[in-house]
Amino acid sequence: MCGIVGYVGPRGSQEVLLGGLGRLEYRGYDSAGVAIISDELETRKRAGKLQTLRDELVANPLDDGHTGIGHTRWATHGAPNDVNAHPHLGDNGKLALIHNGIIENFAEIKAELVADGVEFVSETDSEVAAHLVGREYRRTGNLTEAMKASVARFDGAFTLLIVHEESPGVVVGARRNSPLVIGLGKGENFLGSDVAAFVEYTSDALAIGQDQIVTITPDSVSVIDFDGNAVTPEPFTVTWDASAADKGGWSSFMAKEISEEPAAVADTLRGRVKDGVVEIPGFEPADFADVDRIIVVACGTAAYAGLVGKYAIEKWARIPVDVELSHEFRYREPVISDRTLIVSVSQSGETMDTLMAVKYAREIGARTLSICNTQGATIPRESDAVIYTHAGPEVAVASTKAFVAQITALYLLGIAIAQANGKGDARILSAAVHDLEAAPALLDTVLRHGEHIRTLAKWMADTQAVLILGRHVGFPIALEGALKLKELAYIHAEGFAAGELKHGPIALIEPGQVVFVIVPSPRDPNSLHSKVVNNIQEIRARGARVIAIAEQGDAAVLPYADEVIPIPLASSFIEPILAVVPLHMFAMELAAAKGLDVDQPRNLAKSVTVE
C-alpha cells in the first residue's frame, strides 16, 4: 500500500524520485521520504503528504546525487509520524531501506538485533529490516548478497529497496507478494511499485516475479531468485503515457476519471468484438468450455462489479456464478473442482486479499482468470489467463472508470463462454453485444447531469446517512454507491436490495431520510419496475426524501420522487453501467461540498497490498 521508487543514472535523483512519488502518492500518503547518495548518504523524510517533504527539501536541501530511493507511506506498524516515515537506516546510517508490506516475524529479529546492541528509533518492522540488511552488508560487503541473506529470514509480504553509501550507482530490490517493476532506460534504470513511478522516462518495463531480487546500475539489470539462481524477467511495454496519469486540468483525478468512464468501456471493448462474436486476444474460450462453475473473488468496488457480472454470465452462459469477498473465500474451505473457474477482479492487480485467494484457489486445483487494469501486476501473473480492462491509469483512490470497465470485461467473458459452450441463445447474445457497443455513447449522455448532481450535493451537504435501493443488477450498484459515500463523504450509507425493504430496513425510514432508488426500466421483462415504484411509494409514505435514478421519460416515478436523475433508455444489463455514474458523481460532489479530499480520502490507499 506504499509507493516505492528507485533510480540510478545521470539525472539528479531528487527530481526523479519526487516525480515518481507524486504519481504513486495514491498508494499511500501518511508520510514520504527519500534517500540519495552524493558524496554520502542523506535522507529527508516527513509525516504528511508529499508536499510536506517537498517543502522540507526546500527548507533543508540535500546534496543531489545519481542514486536514490523514495517512499510514500500508508502506515501499518507505527503512527504516521516523522520517525516512522521511510527510509529507515542501518549500518550506522550508511544504508537506507524502504519497504512496502508487513514483515510478520519482525519482533523476533528485533530482539536478536537489540541483543547485539542495535538501538532502534522507530516502531516499524521496516527499521528492523534496515538494521538486519545493514548487518549483512557489513558481513558480505555486497548489497545484493546482503539482501539475499536478509530476505531468507523474513516472513510475510514485502517489497524492499536498499542503497548503501559505499555502493553508489547501485539499487537493490526484493519482492514477495508486494509489487515491484523495473523501468529500463538508456544509461539509467528505475524501480517502482508500479509503472507510474517511471512512465515519464520510459515505457519499457520488466516484471519481477515472486521471491526475486533485482540489482540495477545505470547500465545493467540483473535478477536472481531468493536461492541465488539467475532469472530472466518478463518484458512488457507500458501502453499509456505520463499525461494519462496527470490531472489534465480537472479539479481532481476522480472528476477526470469519471469523465473517462465512456472511454473505459469503449477501450475495454475495442478489438474484442468481430461481427457480433466476442474474440479476446490471449483468451481462448474453448479452454473454459467445460467450466461448470465460476467463483468471482474480489474486494470492495471490484466485488460489486463481480455481482453485476454474475447476473449476466448466469443468464448468457447458463453457468452458476458465485461472488465471494477474497478475504472470506480463502478461509472457508470452499468446495471446488478442476471445472471451477476462479475469476479475480482487481483494478490494481496487487490487492493482497485477492492475490492470496487466487494462489489458494490454484493450490486446491481450480483454474484462474484475472480481470485486471494494471499491466505487469502480480495477480495476472499468478493466474492461468488474463482479460485486461483498458480504463487507463486510475489514480483517485475511489474506483470509478475501472468499475465500469470491469463490468464490461465480465460481460465479454460471459458472452465468450456462452458462445463457446453452446448454452447461449444466439439472439440474446447478439443483442448483448450490440447493447455493449452502444453503451459508451449512452454514458456520455449521463455525464451531462453533472451540474444537477452538484446542486443536489450542495443542498445535501449536511446529510449524515443515505440509503440506496436497487433490484436485480441494480442491487450491486446500490452497494457500490453506498461504498462511494462512505469512502469519500465519510457518512453512513447502506445499499440494499429493494425487495428486502419490508424485511427490516424500512424501519430506518423516518421523515427526511434520504433514499436513492435505482429504478429498473419500465420495459423491464421481469416487470421489476412496478415493484420498485411500489417501494418508492412505501418510503415516501413514511417521509423519505427520494432521489430516483430512472429511465428518461419514466412517468411512473415522477409523482413520488423529490428528485429524478434521468438515464437513457438501455437494456437491463447496460442500465447498471449507466446508473452508477450519477452515484459516483454525487459522492464526489458531496465530498467536495464538505471540503474533503476527493482523490485521497482519509485512512485509505489505492491498492491494499497488505492483508
Phi, psi of 362 (to 5 degrees): -65, -40
Q: Provide, rounded to whole angstroms, the least separation between the CB of residue 609 and ligand AGP.
A: 9
C-beta closer to ligand AGP: residue 357 or 439: 357
Residue 557 CA to residue 533 CA, distance in Å, equals 6
Residue 583 CA to residue 601 CA, distance in Å, equals 17
Which parts of this chain interact with ligand AGP (CB under 6 A)? 299-302, 346-348, 351, 354, 397-399, 487, 607-608
Phi, psi of 245 (to 5 degrees): -100, 10
Residue 97 CA to residue 569 CA, distance in Å, equals 55
C-beta closer to ligand AGP: residue 409 or 533: 409
Grid coordinates in use for 564?
429524478
Grid coordinates in use for 489?
463523504
Q: Provide, rounded to whole angstroms, the least separation between the CB of residue 524 and ligand AGP.
A: 28
Residue 496 CA to residue 467 CA, distance in Å, equals 8
Q: Residues 399, 302: contact at Cβ < 8 Å?
A: yes
C-beta closer to ligand AGP: residue 124 or 259: 259
Known active-site residue 401: no
Give the CB-nearest residue to ligand AGP: 300
Q: Provide, rounded to whole angstroms, the least separation between the CB of residue 582 and ligand AGP.
A: 16
Q: Provide, rounded to whole angstroms, the least separation between the CB of residue 425 and ligand AGP.
A: 32
Q: Of residues 2, 310, 315, 484, which has the active-site annotation?
A: 2
387-404 exposure pattern, b = at least 16 Cβ within 10 A, e = fewer: bbbbbbbbbbbbbbbbbb
Residue in the block written with cell 539482501: 147
Question: Per-residue DSSP letters for 60-94?
Answer: S-----SEEEEEEE--SSS-SSTTTSSPEEETTTT
The identity of residue 425, as a single letter, is: D
Q: Residues 474, 575: contact at Cβ < 8 Å?
A: yes
Specify the pairing of strand 273-274 against strand 67-73: unpaired
C-beta closer to ligand AGP: residue 340 or 346: 346
Q: Provide, rounded to whole angstroms, the least separation between the CB of residue 56 and ligand AGP.
A: 29
Q: Provide, rounded to whole angstroms, the least separation between the CB of residue 192 and ligand AGP.
A: 17
Q: Provide, rounded to whole angstroms, the least separation between the CB of residue 606 and ligand AGP.
A: 7
C-beta closer to ligand AGP: residue 28 or 300: 300
Q: Of residues 94, 148, 310, 606, which has the active-site annotation?
A: 606
Strand order in the sheet with 88-90: 88-90, 95-103, 156-164, 171-176, 212-217, 220-225, 230-231
Q: Provide, rounded to whole angstroms, the least separation between the CB of residue 82 and ligand AGP.
A: 27
H helix intervals, 125-238:
125-140, 143-151
Residue 158 CA to residue 174 CA, distance in Å, equals 8
DSSP state of 177: B
The identity of residue 353, as a single letter, is: D
Burial of 339 (0-12, 13-18, 19+ CB in 10 A): middle
C-beta closer to ligand AGP: residue 67 or 100: 100
C-beta closer to ligand AGP: residue 307 or 397: 397
C-beta closer to ligand AGP: residue 177 or 607: 607
Residue 262 CA to residue 214 CA, distance in Å, equals 39
Residue 189 CA to residue 212 CA, distance in Å, equals 17
Q: Provide, rounded to whole angstroms, the least separation between the CB of residue 302 and ligand AGP.
A: 4
Cα separations in angstroms, 370 against 332, 341, 408, 422, 462: 21, 10, 14, 23, 40
Q: Residues 367, 393: contact at Cβ < 8 Å?
A: no
491: helix, coil or strand?
coil
**Which of 402, 374, 331 lies closest to 577, judged by CA?**
402
C-beta closer to ligand AGP: residue 185 or 300: 300
Known active-site residue 606: yes
Q: Provide, rounded to whole angstroms, the least separation between the CB of residue 574 and ligand AGP.
A: 22
C-beta closer to ligand AGP: residue 180 or 317: 180
Residue 491 CA to residue 573 CA, distance in Å, equals 29
Residue 8 CA to residue 189 CA, distance in Å, equals 6
Element (H, E) at 404: helix 401-421
Question: Per-residue DSSP letters for 322-376?
Answer: EEEEHHHHTTS-----TTEEEEEEESSS--HHHHHHHHHHHHTT-EEEEEESSTT
C-beta closer to ligand AGP: residue 7 or 388: 388
Q: Provide, rounded to whole angstroms, the least separation between the CB of residue 33 and ligand AGP.
A: 25
Residues belonging to the active site: 2, 606
